[in-house]
């Protein structure tokens, strides 16, 4: 019990120090030192615009970057609670506190090596970017984590609450639709169909609020590149190539390689032996589905890897296994390399090269970002190979347990 408290104390201290010394944001390339919780501010600016009778789904003068609202109208309900842009700082601090507690509960480190690995993830420049911006991905992270905690129980009422939380997350940010893979943990056909119906009901009820956000997202959503960009298209964009086919071909080949490897290693009768192992496997698969889906659907920011917290318990559980151990260690090492590499390079360039030659710093940055993207592709390939194998096993177990004859 003491170890998570020590890890949380260290992480909280570093997060606090970053806000007290904004040069940290500049040195790591995160920027926005004078605008903490920028993304939370944007949500509250949309609420203020709606309250003032202005369409928040168009470029918004209430926001310093004129960002339109690109999500469901459910976020605008914050305005009805009386929250405004003036509440950004305390609301952002509260959100970070909840995120930190959630990460400790989900990862549950048992020894110092696990505690150090968790701290390295939470203190990485990639995670710090989410902390700096208070992006609404953090809200999604908390909600889905609560749903996963509900799924640790075998009681139907708890799992129904978990399904509801997954569906609400999908309404708030769209891509959490991949939480549907968690329903494979519901082995009875009746329970699975009821869960699917509950999930669909939430989406149907939310559709009037989803439609304007989806239209706005199609027009205005950002497609980042260069520093801290994440996704399959980023590598070629950084090299000046914008064609879709250029990244679809290597992505397709990687998927074929991962699928073939997963098929060879998949044993239909195998499954996690203990409830702890089953929970860790479910959370790993869902976390992997989130980060893999985000990688393949386009470019976003690397703070999306906040969902990698869910990968850790399974990786730690399997690191001593003769079969899965090498792959688990490889995924963990590559993950930490991905979340740290660009931030470390940004610090080095700002300290050593930038003051003397911006042109030289830009050239070195371009090379470093290419290396970073290759690391990301290697990590995604390893993660995809393991995830496809686990998904196949879960789907097979669901099919066997769901058949009337098996019951």
How much is the pLDDT for 401? 62
Does 85 share its domain with 37? yes
Non-local (6+) Cβ contacts of 367 within 8 A are none
Q: Are strands 300-301 and 229-230 parallel, antiparallel or unpaired?
A: antiparallel
The tens-digit pLDDT sequence of the chain (407 residues) is 688 899 999 999 999 999 998 888 888 888 776 788 999 999 999 999 999 889 998 888 898 888 898 899 999 999 889 899 999 999 999 999 999 999 999 999 988 999 999 999 999 999 999 999 999 999 999 999 999 999 988 888 899 999 999 999 999 988 888 888 888 877 777 888 888 999 999 999 988 888 888 888 777 777 777 788 888 888 776 666 666 666 777 777 777 777 776 666 555 445 556 777 788 888 999 999 999 988 888 788 899 999 999 999 999 988 777 667 788 899 999 999 999 998 888 888 877 765 556 666 667 778 888 888 889 989 999 898 888 888 877 766 666 665 433 33
Q: Report pTM.
A: 0.90
Q: Six-digit token pair at 267?
A: 């044993």
Same domain, 318 and 190: no
In this structure, how many other beta carbons lie within 10 angstroms of the beta carbon of residue 223?
A: 13
Domain tally, the chain: 2
> In this structure, are 2 and 98 located in the same domain?
yes
pLDDT at res. 2: 85
Task: Give the domain range for residue 296.
Answer: 222-407
Helix axes 2-20, 125-133, angle to 10 degrees: 70
Give the residue carrying structure tokens 């066997």: 400
User: 406 with 260, same domain?
Assistant: yes
Dihedral sign from CA coordinates of 25, 31, 34, 38: negative
Of 324, 277, 303, 305, give the one whose Cα is nearest residue 380. 305
In the listed set 191, 221, 251, which residue is the last one of a domain according to the structure? Answer: 221
Residues with Cβ within 8 Å of 371's Cβ and at least 6 positions away in sequence, in order, are 341
């Amino acid at each position: 019990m003491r170890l998570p408290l020590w890890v949380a104390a260290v992480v909280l201290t570093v997060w606090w120090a970053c806000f007290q010394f904004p040069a940290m944001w500049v040195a790591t390339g995160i920027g926005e030192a004078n605008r903490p919780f920028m993304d939370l501010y944007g949500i509250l600016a949309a609420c203020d615009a709606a309250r003032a009778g202005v369409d928040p789904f168009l470029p918004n003068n209430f926001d310093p970057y004129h960002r339109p609202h690109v999500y469901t109208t459910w976020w605008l309900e914050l305005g009805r609670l009386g929250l405004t842009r003036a509440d950004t700082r305390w609301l952002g601090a509260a959100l970070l506190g909840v995120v930190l507690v959630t990460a400790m509960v989900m990862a549950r480190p048992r020894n110092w090596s696990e505690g150090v690995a968790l701290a390295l993830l939470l203190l990485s420049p990639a995670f710090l970017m989410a902390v700096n911006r208070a992006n609404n991905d953090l809200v999604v992270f908390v909600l889905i984590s609560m749903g996963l905690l509900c799924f640790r129980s075998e009681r139907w009422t708890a799992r129904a609450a978990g399904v509801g939380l997954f569906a609400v997350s999908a309404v708030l940010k769209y891509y959490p639709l991949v939480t549907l893979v968690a329903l494979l943990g519901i082995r009875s056909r009746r329970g699975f169909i009821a869960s699917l119906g509950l999930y669909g009901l939430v989406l149907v009820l939310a559709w009037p609020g989803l439609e304007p956000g989806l239209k706005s997202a199609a027009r205005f959503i950002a497609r980042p590149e260069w520093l801290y960009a994440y996704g399959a298209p980023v590598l070629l964009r950084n090299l000046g190539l914008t064609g879709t086919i250029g990244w679809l071909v290597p992505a397709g080949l990687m998927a074929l390689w991962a699928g073939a490897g997963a098929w060879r290693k998949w044993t239909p009768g195998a499954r996690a032996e203990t409830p702890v192992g089953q929970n860790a496997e479910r959370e790993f698969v869902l976390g992997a589905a989130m980060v893999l889906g985000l990688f393949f659907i386009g470019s976003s920011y690397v703070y999306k890897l906040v969902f990698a917290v869910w990968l850790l318990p399974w990786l730690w559980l399997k690191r001593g296994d003769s079969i899965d151990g090498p792959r688990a260690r490889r995924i963990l090492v590559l993950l930490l390399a991905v979340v740290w590499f660009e931030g470390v390079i940004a610090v080095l360039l700002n300290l050593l090269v930038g003051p003397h030659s911006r042109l030289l710093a830009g050239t070195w940055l371009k090379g470093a970002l290419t290396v970073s993207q290759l690391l990301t592709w290697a990590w995604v390939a390893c993660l995809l190979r393991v995830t496809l194998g686990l998904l196949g096993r879960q789907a097979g177990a669901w099919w066997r347990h769901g058949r009337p004859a098996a019951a």
